[in-house]
Amino acid sequence: MLTEFELQALWLSLKVALRSVAFALPFAVVAAYILARKRFPGKVLFDGVIHLPLALPPVLVGYLLLLTFGIRGPLGGWLYDAFGLRLAFTSVGASIATAVMSFPLMVRAIRLSIEAIDLGLERAAATLGASPLDRLITITLPLMLPGVLSGCVVAFAASLGEFGAVITFVSNIPGETQTLPLAIYAAVQNPDGDAAAARLAALSLVLALSGLIISEVIARRARRMLGGAADE
């Protein structure tokens, strides 16, 4: 049975992960579409920047976020002075940190889905008088839906497990920024925390595995709804 402390960490993790997906999704769709469909000078560099969080140590990503969005940072200072909004050491900041770390995973899933779309369908629609916006709404967006859903679930699962960027940018504050990975870390530091750490670790494992399974199920059902044959 989970204690109040563990339930608090679970609820905060779910809230942070959901918010991070909501933050990242619009930007991920735009970035994936650009990478899949556009050609321009510097595209390789753009692709590299998008996927940079996968190559950098998470602690470094958190440190860069702290430098940028801390109260003394260029953006963080402006947000605080203009709107009284503080991101460092808050649950919103934790969502931003997890969004940055999971962003490349979401972009990749959506990009692969866009690249799998038959361009002949869009060309045929254009010859019938469909505008670019019509083609986007009636063809491109529905056909990329499996990638969008899969990317969201994978990013959600990855956000639940993010540690380095979160603890560096928002610290480990119980009830405010202490997500499941941080709660496990705190339990491990406690001489009597072995049982709590084991329960939280098992919970994290179940959530991560569930997220990956749900991602695959959603992708298959979405392909089936769109008329594609689901993988066996």
Q: How many CA atoms lie within 13 A of 36 on its CB side?
A: 22
Nearest to 143 by CA among 31, 43, 36: 36
Q: Which string of b and e fits 103-122 if b means at least 16 CB within 10 Å?
A: bbbbbbbbbbbbeebeeeeb
- The answer to whether position 143 is within a domain reads yes
Per-residue pLDDT, 229: 42
Task: Report the CATH number that the domain containing residue 44 is assigned in CATH.
Answer: 1.10.3720.10
- The answer to whether position 92 is within a domain reads yes
Per-residue pLDDT, 136: 81
Number of structural domains (the chain) is 1
Three-class SS string for 38-67? CCCCCHHHHHHHHHHHHHCCHHHHHHHHHH
Domain extent at residue 151:
4-225
Per-residue pLDDT, 232: 41
Per-residue pLDDT, 226: 61
- The answer to whether position 232 is within a domain reads no
> Percent of the chain at pLDDT above 90?
50
- The answer to whether position 37 is within a domain reads yes
- The answer to whether position 159 is within a domain reads yes
Could you report the per-residue pLDDT of 16-46, keeping only the tens digit for each?
A: 999 999 999 999 999 999 999 888 999 999 9
- The answer to whether position 42 is within a domain reads yes
- The answer to whether position 41 is within a domain reads yes
Per-residue pLDDT, 223: 67
Cβ-Cβ contacts under 8 Å for 108 (sequence gap 6 or more): 32, 51, 151
- The answer to whether position 61 is within a domain reads yes
pLDDT lower than 70: segments of the chain? 222-223, 225-232
Please indicate, yes or no, whether the overall pTM of this predicted structure exceeds 0.85. yes
Per-residue pLDDT, 227: 62
> Cα angle vertex 113, ends 107, 116, to 5°?
140
- Average model confidence (pLDDT) across the chain: 88
